[in-house]
Amino acid sequence: MVPAISKKERLLSEIRKQVEQCIRCQLSQTRTNTVFGEGNADAVVMFIGEAPGEDEDKTGRPFVGRAGKLLTNILHSVSLKREKVFIANTVKCRPPGNRAPKDEEMQCCFPYLEAQIAVINPTLIVTLGGVSTAFLMDEKISISKIRGRMIEWRGGKKIFPMYHPSFLLRYQSQKPGSPRYQTWQDIQEVKKTIDLVLLAGNGNE
C-alpha cells in the first residue's frame, strides 16, 4: 500500500519544487543539485547547518559527507535516527570551494528555510556552528560561548546552538570539557526536549 502523504509533506514538496528552480542568487549558477533538506515533516527538532559541501551538491542530500556521518553518529549516541529529525542548511546550494555562504546569499535563501520552519513547526532549532547561529539570531557571538544554551526565538520557538560537526572532526579528544564531550552533553539536552514534547503529546511521531 502506498503511504498517504500528509499535508505537511505536500507543503514541503511544493517548497522543494520552488527551491529546485531557484535562481535568486549566484550560487544557483555553480550548483549541481539543490539541497532542500530531509527528514520528518513532523519533527520536534530541526538541525540547521551552514551550507551544502561537495558530497551534498553531488547527491542533493544534506550532511552526507564526513561531517554528515559524524552528525548521524551524534544522533545515534542518544538513539535518534536521522529520519526522526529534519536536517537543512542556511542555503540550499553549495558555495564554490566550500567557502562560507555570504550574508546576502543566506538572506536570499531565507524565505525557503522560513517556509520549511513554518510547515514543520519544530519546538527546537539546533543551529550547527557559528554561521547558522549568528544568522538566525542576527547577532555575532562566539559558538563556544553560546553552545548548549536554550535561546528564545521568535516567540514560542527555541534555538539551541551546537558545534558544527566539521569543527568536531578536528578534535579527537572526548575528555570532559572537550568540544566532543560538550557536544555529547548538548545532544542529550536535545533528546530530553524531544522526549518531553512527545510525552506531553505535542509531537506526531
Q: Which residues bind ligand URA (CB under 6 A)?
A: 49-53, 56, 62-63, 65, 67-68, 89, 166
Of the pair 53, 203, the CB lying nearest ligand URA is at: 53
* CB atoms inside a 10 Å sphere around CB 19: 21
Closest CA to 83 of 72, 96, 95: 72
Distance CA 35, CA 89 (A): 8
Of the pair 51, 190, the CB lying nearest ligand URA is at: 51
Distance CA 94, CA 125 (A): 22
- Residue number of the CB closest to ligand URA reads 49
Least Å from the CB of residue 98 to ligand URA: 8
Least Å from the CB of residue 106 to ligand URA: 12
Least Å from the CB of residue 175 to ligand URA: 25
Q: Quick one: CA dihedral 46, 51, 53, 56, positive or negative?
A: positive
Least Å from the CB of residue 151 to ligand URA: 20
CB 68 within 8 A of CB 54: no
Q: What is the DSSP letter of 78?
A: T
For residue 79, what are the contacts with CB-CB under 8 A and spacing of at least 6? 191
Of the pair 48, 203, the CB lying nearest ligand URA is at: 48
Least Å from the CB of residue 9 to ligand URA: 21
Of the pair 8, 58, the CB lying nearest ligand URA is at: 58
Encoded amino acid at 77, one letter: S
Of the pair 50, 119, the CB lying nearest ligand URA is at: 50
